[in-house]
Structure 1
Amino acid sequence: MTRYAFRTPMLAVAAMLMGAAIVLRMLVPAAPMWAPALILLSAIAIGMVALTRYAASCENAPPALQRRYTREMLIGMGSYTVLLFVSLLWLRELEAPALRAVVALLPVAPIALVLRAMVRFIRGVDELQQRIELEAICIAAALVSFAYMTGGFLQAARVIDVPSSAAMLWVFPLVCGTYGVAKSVVARRYR
């Protein structure tokens, strides 16, 4: 595999997310402004990582594992994007709380598939790569938890006012983005 084997799939995910942000804004104008902004920010972050040398941070994985991971991630993220739109469109027309809950949770299943792909990838790499992954996720979880707690204190003091739904939806993308940055820093230590 080439040094930048993950560049194309990462750029595909970035393009898919960018398209999702645009379509969301056009199809669901009533959606909160932060929703397409969050998706667009994720697309930009993934695209930036894909265009840097850090796209090769998984190059130590066996080619079959890399292909499986890429396939599972693309399927999961593609399904997430589709189900997010479906759910947002249906939620505009549904009134029953139980049905609204089911429809609102539709995008959660593909995210579970993405998490499963990540765990399978980590289990398939060697011990050094597992250590890098573990350190990176620990750093990401700690930093995002610290930021979330800090925001909670500022919210409680009425210094800031962030809608709870927006704050909750930002946690996972922030952990993923922080994990990517932490992984590049941690991996550099072991080179």
Structure 2
Amino acid sequence: MVASSARFPLRAVAVLLLAAAVALRLLVPTAPEWASVLILLSAVGIGVVSLSRRATACDDAPPALRRRYTRDVLIGMGAYTVLLFVSLLLLRSVEAPALRALIALLPVAPIALVLRAMVHFVRGVDELQQRIEFEAVCIAAALVAFAYMTAGFLQAARVIDVPASAAMLWVFPLLCGTYGIAKAVIARRYR
């Protein structure tokens, strides 16, 4: 019961992201195709994790902390999705550079709220769980930085050609996905 109810918020986030990917393609046809692909891949990744039996085996957070974290992440990701659409729609009709910058940054604030929820979660768990979280973050940061640097060398050698905006927008989702995988692997070592 606990494992399945704890995985429910992950499934809700996956469904929300899936709906966002479809809505982006339908409502904003001028949006870059990679944006929908990024959202879709995030939905698939989170969905796979939610279906895993070990999705909640990594942390022993108190129920109140889990509920608060889940609530804050769902609110943040919901606000991010809404503000992303608002931003993309408004950018189609605004020409002033300063206003375009403000509109483009609208989706950043909810991500800051999600990061705040993550920090509160880590501060609320026991020392073993904090160690698992710390190791997972370190490994994820190292792997994503290595991949980004490698792609940068390939870009400089003109072997690949990735638009800078696409590359920059992939960093955070890649970091989150790599962190989730690293956390599951590290947690097995401690159990």
**TM > 0.5 between the two?**
yes
TM-score in terms of structure 1 length:
0.98
Name 2:154's counterpart in structure 1. Answer: 154
Q: How many residues align?
A: 191
Name 1:108's counterpart in structure 2. Answer: 108
How far apart in 2 are the matches of 1:125 and 1:58?
12
Structure 2: which amino acid aligns with 1:51? Answer: L
Structure 1: which amino acid aligns with 2:73? Answer: M
Superposition map of 1:1-191 within 5 A: 2-191=2-191
The answer (yes or no) to whether the contact 1:65–1:124 under 8 Å persists in 2 is: yes
Q: Show structure 1 runs of 5+ residues with no match.
A: none
How far apart in 2 are the matches of 1:133 and 1:28?
37
User: How much does 1:53 deviate?
Assistant: 1.7
The answer (yes or no) to whether the contact 1:5–1:56 under 8 Å persists in 2 is: no
Aligned structure 1 segments of 4 or more residues deviating by more than 2 angstroms:
3-6
How far apart in 1 are the matches of 2:124 and 2:58?
11
Structure 1: which amino acid aligns with 2:95? Answer: E
Deviation larger for 47-56 or 175-184: 47-56
Structure 2: which amino acid aligns with 1:97? Answer: P
Percent of matched pairs sharing the same residue:
74
2:55 is paired with a residue whose SS is helix
User: How much does 1:182 deviate?
Assistant: 0.2
User: How much does 1:4 deviate?
Assistant: 3.2
Per-residue CA deviation, residues 115-147 of structure 1 (Å, 9 max, x unaligned), is: 000000000000000000000000000000000
Instruction: Kindly report the root-mean-square deviation, in angstroms, between the aligned alpha carbons of the 2 structures.
Output: 0.9
Structure 2: which amino acid aligns with 1:176? Answer: C
Change (3 A) 1:108 1:83: same
How far apart in 1 are the matches of 2:187 and 2:3?
15
Per-residue CA deviation, residues 5-42 of structure 1 (Å, 9 max, x unaligned), is: 32110000000000000000001111111000000000
The answer (yes or no) to whether the contact 1:91–1:104 under 8 Å persists in 2 is: yes
Deviation larger for 176-185 or 46-55: 46-55
How far apart in 2 are the matches of 1:5 and 1:52?
13
1:122 is paired with a residue whose SS is helix
